Amino acid sequence: MKAQLGGDEGKHKFVLKTPKGTRDYSPKQMAIRERVFNVIITCFKRHGAEVIDTPVFELKETLTGKYGEDSKLIYDLKDQGGELLSLRYDLTVPFARYLAMNKITNIKRYHIAKDFDIAGQFDPMIPDAECLKIVHEILSDLQLGDFLIKVNDRRILDGMFAVCGVPDSKFRTICSSVDKLDKTPWEEVRSEMVGEKGLSPEAADHIGEYVQLHGGLDLIEGLLQDPKLSQNKLAKEGLGDMKLLFEYLTLFGITGKISFDLSLARGLDYYTGVIFEAVLLQQENDHVEEPVSVGSGAGGGRYDGLVGMFDPKGRKVPCVGVSIGIERIFSILEQRVEASEEKIRTTETQVLVASAQKKLLEERLKLISELWDAGIKAEVLYKKNPKLLNQLQYCEDTGIPLVAIVGEQELKDGVVKLRVVATREEVNVRRESLVEEIRMRTSQP
């Protein structure tokens, strides 16, 4: 660091950057984020969720052993007076820790505008179906274009591994390999299974046949008749529940965008039942081609064992949850805004308090104070004697729709000149009616 600082007359020479893997959000980016969060939180509240929050870091041991092969990505903190801490990696493990710590057996909650979970012992597949309905609502409301929600079940996967001849001890690691199928061709995944993970080529080929399958109720019915799978207790349970899930999704009217897909695995170790992932699709240009995936917009599943890992007596609390892919969604919308040259306002200011003449700072401050106290969103330029042109230009630049202009004559007459920026229309409004007039002219239709 000393070398970096150098001697340039005391001026600092360190690199001005954010840490690797992090970024700042500018006002324009935050305006887009706020739209996204509004849609998501509105949806979570529509489904009756409470909200909780947990610290950004946890005891290291709280996070250890919950994620499987993904856990390399956890940030550790330095020893803090005898406590080993790590930054949270997702919101699911802290949520499970919270439930166990507070002995909560029943809750529907969301967590920082992106994770929604239902915990509790309920009749099968009803909360699971609601999670898929939520994903469907959010992705529709955000108008991101077409999407497909892939669904599978860990029990079906495990049953499939068993009938394909995968040894029990390799279930999780083979599951991790299958998880790569969304980005990697089967041949590569197969050679990882056989080469790196020591699976027999026959077992791998057998898996290869199953993971090509995707469809709806027909496929579920078909697999329930599959001579091998139907003999496996786990797979049979999973397929039975998948059938029930599809019945509920039919009632919700959303099966058109749901695909039961045997290649969906999801990497995290803690899932125990239904798993799902929403793939965002984009039509390539105007060609008559298959839409291509532009990434995952949401994902989740059932994790019935995680809370029990924290409970001193191992008491289980069944949970199912969904996490929204905020960053992916946000970057798609950001690109779209850039491409469309749509003008995004970064403030909600209704009116700029201005003056045409000099020496009216005091009058501007008095008027804006009245407006603020009445709940009007108002700004004033921080200059003693700003030019009217500069004040109007500020409105053009920032999208402020109205200007309230005070001048000697208006003050004498007890009025304020209200100017509509878009039309340049000007009208004198009695001072006591100004708040009402501004509200009327800026109310959302």
**How far, in Å, CA of 404 to CA of 442, rounded?**
13
- What is the b/e burial string over 337-346, where b = at least 16 CB atoms within 10 angstroms of the residue's CB? beeeeeeeee
354 binds a second copy (CB under 8 A): no
372 binds a second copy (CB under 8 A): yes
**How far, in Å, CA of 47 to CA of 438, rounded?**
35
* Span near a second copy by CB under 8 A; candidates 198-206, 308-316, 332-340, 433-441: 308-316
423 binds a second copy (CB under 8 A): no
The encoded tokens of residue 257 equal 């965008």
Please identify, using beta-carbon distances, which residue of 85 and 207 lies nearer to a second copy.
Answer: 85
102 binds a second copy (CB under 8 A): yes
53 binds a second copy (CB under 8 A): yes
445 binds a second copy (CB under 8 A): no
**How far, in Å, CA of 265 to CA of 184, rounded?**
13
Which listed residue (40, 63, 91, 100) binds a second copy by CB under 8 A?
A: 100
The encoded tokens of residue 32 equal 């887009």
24 binds a second copy (CB under 8 A): yes
11 binds a second copy (CB under 8 A): yes
**How far, in Å, CA of 262 to CA of 157, rounded?**
7
17 binds a second copy (CB under 8 A): yes
Among candidate residues 334, 291, 303, 320, the one with its CA nearest the CA of residue 135: 320
- Minimum separation from the CB atom of position 200 to a second copy (A): 31
* Span near a second copy by CB under 8 A; candidates 190-198, 264-272, 285-293, 305-313: 305-313
Contacts (CB under 8 A) with a second copy, residues 178-237: none
7 binds a second copy (CB under 8 A): no
Sheet holding 378-379, edge to edge: 378-379, 351-355, 402-406, 415-420, 426-430
* Span near a second copy by CB under 8 A; candidates 157-165, 192-200, 211-219, 347-355: 347-355
**How far, in Å, CA of 89 to CA of 75, rounded?**
8
The encoded tokens of residue 288 equal 């008559």
* Span near a second copy by CB under 8 A; candidates 79-87, 205-213, 283-291, 404-412: 79-87
115 binds a second copy (CB under 8 A): no
**Binding residues with a second copy: total (CB under 8 A):** 95
**How far, in Å, CA of 37 to CA of 28, rounded?**
14
